[in-house]
Amino acid sequence: MPEPAVHIAAVRKAFRTGGREVVALDGIDLDVAPGELVCLLGPSGCGKSTLLNAIAGFAPPTAGTVLANGRPVTGPGPDRAMVFQEYALFPWMTVEANVGFGLELRGEPRQVVREKVSALLRQLGLSDFRDRFPKDLSGGMRQRVAIARVLAIDPPMLLMDEPFGALDALTRRNLQDELLRLWAELGKTVVFVTHGIEEAIYLADRVVVMTYRPGRVKQIVPVKLPRPRDTASAEFNQLKRTVSQLVMEEQARHEQAERAATAD
């Protein structure tokens, strides 16, 4: 068996809020194979973003092991490029400068940067927007730029934190297909956080359903359906029922916990 792209063992993450200790993650074990597309799914508060941030190196876990590409994660790095829900484009840079930023940091010659950026912009249908600032783009376009920005540095792994969560349904489907196309073409490992059940089943090789606080792996649901997947098919909906059932249990626990917290 090849070395996993991500290896997570016995990861625990606790932090204090208002004098109380909150355990966001507890006893997480998870391996992601190279080239695999894995979705972390769960209600808000299940720690899926916390887990992604641990892989990204933004917030180290309290205990446990996180290996990325075989090496322990000690901080953020361009081998694990992150796409944020809020796009996080640099508003003072044009589209072209945003996409070229990672290459520039790497010290690539200007000519190489320009060529690579041009090719990526073409690939993602952004060529007409190269001189625009992010404020002049729609949400969908901004997220395309953000994807182009991480693809520019050609990372072996993409970490995506609810990247399409703020987009309308049509744009979201569009970008999901775009992501699948790029993923199939480039063979990158993708760890994708979402709270969308359909999105998870539409995209993932495996859906990791997480529990509400403390976040644990509740169940891993493999999705064997061939792509492109038909969201109206019987198999798809059977799977959706199964996953919904799992997620709704955790959602119910979430709501119960909130009610209890308000009652205090």
Partner 1 sequence: MRNGLGRLAKSLLVPTIVLVLWEALSRAGKISPAILPAPSQVVVRWWLYLAPAQAYDPSQESRLAWLFSGELPQDAAGSLSRVVVGFLIGGGIALPLGLLMGRKPIVYELMSPLLEILRPIPPIAYIPLSILWFGLGNPPAFFLISLGAFFPVLVNTIAGVRNVDAIYVRAAQNLGANEATLFRRVILPAAMPYILTGVRVGIGVAFIVVIVAEMTAVNKGLGYRILEAREFMWSDKIIAGMITIGLCGLGIDVLMNRLNRWLLRWHRGMES
- The contact set with partner 1 (CB under 8 A) reads 56, 58, 75-78, 80-82, 84, 86, 88-93, 101-102, 105-106, 133-135, 149-150, 153
Q: Which is nearer to partner 1, 101 or 164 (CB)?
A: 101
* Pairing relationship of beta strands 217-222 and 206-210 according to DSSP bridges: antiparallel
Q: How far apart are CA 189 and CA 261, in angstroms?
A: 38
> Shortest Cβ distance from residue 175 to partner 1 (Å)?
18
> Shortest Cβ distance from residue 233 to partner 1 (Å)?
37
The enclosing H or E element of 218 equals: strand 217-222
> Shortest Cβ distance from residue 51 to partner 1 (Å)?
16
Q: What are 209's strand-pairing partners? A: 41, 219
Indicate the SS3 state at residue 68. Answer: strand
Strands (E), 33-155: 37-41, 63-68, 71-72, 80-83
* Pairing relationship of beta strands 6-17 and 20-32 according to DSSP bridges: antiparallel
Q: Which is nearer to partner 1, 104 or 235 (CB)?
A: 104
Q: How far apart are CA 85 and CA 94, in angstroms?
A: 19
Q: Which is nearer to partner 1, 99 or 221 (CB)?
A: 99
> Shortest Cβ distance from residue 71 to partner 1 (Å)?
15
Q: Which is nearer to partner 1, 49 or 251 (CB)?
A: 49
Q: Which is nearer to partner 1, 159 or 243 (CB)?
A: 159
> Shortest Cβ distance from residue 163 to partner 1 (Å)?
13
Q: Which is nearer to partner 1, 2 or 107 (CB)?
A: 107
**Beta carbons of 3 and 33 less than 8 angstroms apart:** no
- Please report how the helices 139-152 and 95-105 are oriented relative to each other, as an axis angle in degrees rounded to 10: 20
**Beta carbons of 97 and 133 less than 8 angstroms apart:** no
> Shortest Cβ distance from residue 97 to partner 1 (Å)?
10
